[in-house]
Amino acid sequence: MSVHLHNSDFTNISIRKILIDGNFRIGIYFEYNDQIKQKVKDFGARWNKALRCWHIDYTPEAYNEFRRVFPAHTVITDSASSKSSPAPGLKNNHDTAPTAESNSEIPHPGDASGHNPHKADDKNGFGVEYISTTGKYWVVKIPYKEQLSKGLKAIKGVYWNGSYKAWMAFRHVSVKQRVEALLGTQGLLPDNYWTNTVPEKAEEKIVVEVHEPDRRMMQVRLPRVSSVIQIVKRFAGSRYSKSQECYLLPSNPQVYENLVKIAADYSFAIENKLPDAYLNKRYTPSRRKVEMALTMEKVRNLTPPAARDFVDAFTDLLLATNKSANTIKTYVHAFVSFLRFTGYRDPAGIERKEIVKYLGNMILQGFSPSAANNCVNALNIYYSEVLLIPHFELKLPRPKKEHRLPVIITQDECIAIFDNVSNPKHKMVLMLAYGTGLRRSELVNLKWEDILFDEYKIHVRSGKGKKDRMVMLPYSAVAALQSYRELYKSNLYVFEGQYKGEPYSAQSVATVMQRAVQAAGLEKKATVHTLRHAFATHLLEAGTDLRFIQALLGHSSIKTTTIYTHLTKKGVDKIESPLDKLMKEHKNSGKSDGIV
């Protein structure tokens, strides 16, 4: 199901000249709207959390593209901005859109004056706004205030949704009362409380139809419920078809079962218009293919029109050389940032001193040395392999990396973490993280076929750097893992997600660890990766050869593994501080007067 936007929907879109990281940008403001949000993302707009707006390049090309999509917008002219150069495309009165004069800070998205008719002002002067009802939740926008955020997080049933950039409040009378009391806005939330038996609209249903162009896919039309749409978008192989105005999903039985489950969870009807034998197990999508498709979509959204020719040539080369999805995202992001700094000029004509200036500017802006090194790597690949400059090497002074020791937890602290997890799946994933040293991504993508019970080994496929390796399967975990398999009957992934055939979310694993650390009362900032560090450190303390640890962790260089030699407690315990030795000798001599 799709909603077409008309010109009347654009009247609440405003733009203004803003400054980000020392560069002028065109800020875009509007009330929360999924369709408008997607349209601004389509022509390369990016979100700025600090200014709470979307923004595009401050160029005539970018402005003309924006004006083509949103012809009836409002231009806000600040007194500070008006003293400098006018907005691109607005020179010589080329724009006929109305102009609002304003001397205030960034206005509320939705009105040139900053006023929103649906916004309520509470007793403390905070502006809050009820947006919509989504599934089990009310969506509420609240300007950031530290005390308000802490208060909202303390209310059970209320959480921050990063995708919506809004607060989600469970539709219950007690939640309504507590939220309105905190915000001082009586009557802000409606009385449409959630019940698990009656759908909000009786006519809402999920419709599944044949996709004639490619019968490996099926057309799925969804109700306009954002939470349902977000679930379906995360399915492997899911994509939206603008021409068909529906989602296209792989036509295999498992995906259809998941749609039936969603319909049951939300009390929707499901209308199956597929002929017999249309669904086929062979149409299970390749996760690598899906991952690369999502990566390329993110790259396209990141790339502004002025940089597309350069970025397309760069991504083609990265794909042809079989770079991983993460490497492509990292290098393209670094390359686009560099192009933005140079005004999207042809990189072939940019001199070395300008590249060095950009790297220096990155450090001044607070970027990490790793980010600067990624930029150097990306530029080296572009100049030597895309532009085919013979024997090219960008010999630049590499920013010195900051070597920080990772957080390490003791064996007693590991036990305390495990003891504070009651859910069998949650406990098993954390125990395997510590017992095998697997990365979080390797854990969630672990399949039952990779567990070699007879050999007490785990086959890690396509780990970091696309390398396979064998790691130990702890003897103590075998019985627990087999019992877990009986409890959670999944055929593919060891840790299956909410829906069949989908792996467990990596973010969910991180949340499990965070809650366990808090429940254990640990003050250390421990994450799932901390369990990997603990695995290596405790092996080294037990006398395991460093080369074996390198192989188990999947490190390509022994230098990466040697960091754990700085963390072993037993080696440090054997060393006596010279101060301790001095004070001991001084005390034995009987001359301790005047020394603490």
Bridge partners of residue 432, in order along the sequence? none
Tokens of 108: 């509320």
Distance of alpha carbon 14 from alpha carbon 76, whole angstroms:
7
* DSSP-assigned letter for residue 450: G
Active-site choice (41, 233, 464, 485): 464
Q: What is the 3-state secondary structure (H, E, C) of 293-354?
A: HHHHHHHHHHCCHHHHHHHHHHHHHHHHCCCCHHHHHHHHHHHHHHHHHCCCCCHHHCCHHH
564 included as an active-site residue: yes
Catalytic residue among 25, 39, 532, 538, which?
532
Q: Is 555 a catalytic residue?
A: yes
Cβ 219 vs Cβ 209: under 8 Å: yes
Q: Has 464 been annotated as catalytic? A: yes
Q: Is 193 a catalytic residue?
A: no
532 is catalytic: yes
566 is catalytic: no
Contact residues for 65 (Cβ-Cβ < 8 A; gap 6+): 43, 56, 305
In terms of residues, how long is the chain? 596
Residue whose tokens read 């460093």 = 546
Distance between CA atoms of residues 278 and 10, nearest Å = 42
Antiparallel, parallel or unpaired: β 158-161 and 166-170: antiparallel
- CA–CA separation, 40 and 57 (whole Å): 12
Whole-number Å distance between alpha carbons of 527 and 124: 37
Dist CA 393 CA 373 (whole Å): 14
Helices 352-364, 369-381: crossing angle, 10 deg rounding: 160
Give, in order, the Cα–Cα distances in Å from 368 to each of 21, 381, 402, 568: 15, 21, 8, 27
Q: Which long-range contacts (CB under 8 A, 24 or more apart) does 414-417 make?
A: 414/531, 414/534, 416/520, 416/521, 416/522, 417/513, 417/516, 417/517, 417/520, 417/522, 417/526
Catalytic residues, which ones? 439, 464, 529, 532, 555, 564
